[in-house]
């Protein structure tokens, strides 16, 4: 009985075509449209698209867990596509100018992009070795703060307000701190996994 259940789980984890991965693909297709909207200063459209993209991330994660459709591909693809939307939005918002200066400045975008590239490389390698390296609490908090900060920045472009701008600055700073912290945490966790694997081989 248990062998049959394990077999179904293994089959599910190898499957690529399912609802969560389909939602991730939609998120990928929407990202260039989001970037075009930001670059063109279509702030309402950009804000709406970013909220849809953010909510789709929550939806595909929930669906994958609820209906046992977590796959090895999805564990890598889902966070990777999140990074595409987050990094692209931050870079474009740091570069653009509105009535009020952007709360996102260039060095913040650089920190986020570098962290995401490093963590993506680490996660891909560990997943290749057969380890589940899904997002932890700090990674999820980082994601929430990044999404909140970007949404608030886009709202500031729609409804210019100094108080909203000031609040956005603090949220973005918190997101950057969480980004750095979670990146260090991922690196330490990965290092421990590599050490244990080295000990087993020796």
State the pLDDT at residue 172: 96
Report the distance separating Cα 105 and Cα 181, nearest Å: 19
Q: What is the pTM of this model?
A: 0.84
Report the distance separating Cα 93 and Cα 110, nearest Å: 12
State the pLDDT at residue 132: 65
Report the distance separating Cα 70 and Cα 43, nearest Å: 34
State the pLDDT at residue 119: 86
State the pLDDT at residue 72: 66
What SS3 string covers the chain? CHHHHHHHHHHHHHCCCCHHHHHHHHHHHHHHHHHHHHHCCCHHHHHHHHHHHHHHHHHHHHHHHHCCCCCHHHHHHHHHHHHHHHHHHHHHHHHCCCCCCCCCCHHHHHHHHHHHHHHHHHHHHHHHCCCCCCCCHHHHHHHHHHHHHHHHHHHHHHCCCHHHHHHHHHHHHHHHHHHHHHHHHHHHHHHHHHHHHHHHHC
Contact 46/154 with Cβ under 8 angstroms?
A: yes
For the chain, list the domains and their CATH numbers. Answer: 2-201 (1.20.120)
pLDDT tens series, the chain, 202 aa: 334 433 334 444 455 678 877 888 888 899 999 999 999 999 999 999 999 999 988 888 788 777 787 776 667 677 778 889 999 999 999 976 666 789 999 999 999 999 988 888 887 777 777 776 666 788 889 999 999 999 999 999 999 999 999 999 999 999 999 999 999 988 888 888 878 776 666 6
Report the distance separating Cα 47 and Cα 33, nearest Å: 12
């Amino acid at each position: 009985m248990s062998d049959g259940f394990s077999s179904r789980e293994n089959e599910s984890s190898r499957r690529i075509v399912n609802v969560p991965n389909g939602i991730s693909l939609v998120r990928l297709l929407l990202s260039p449209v989001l970037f075009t909207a930001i670059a063109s200063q279509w702030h309402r459209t950009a804000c709406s698209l970013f909220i849809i993209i953010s909510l789709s991330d929550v939806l595909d994660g929930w669906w994958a867990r609820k209906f046992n459709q977590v796959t090895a591909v999805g564990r890598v693809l889902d966070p990777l596509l999140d990074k595409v939307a987050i990094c692209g939005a931050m870079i474009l918002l740091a570069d653009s100018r509105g009535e009020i200066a952007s709360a996102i400045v260039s060095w913040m975008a650089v920190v986020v992009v570098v962290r995401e590239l490093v963590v993506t490389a680490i996660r891909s390698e560990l997943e290749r070795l057969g380890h589940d390296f899904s997002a932890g609490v700090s990674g999820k908090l980082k994601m929430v703060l990044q999404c909140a900060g970007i949404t608030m920045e886009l709202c500031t472009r729609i409804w210019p307000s100094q108080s909203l701008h000031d609040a956005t600055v603090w949220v973005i700073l918190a997101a950057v701190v969480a980004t750095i912290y979670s990146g260090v945490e991922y690196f330490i966790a990965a290092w421990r996994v590599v050490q244990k694997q080295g000990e087993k081989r020796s």
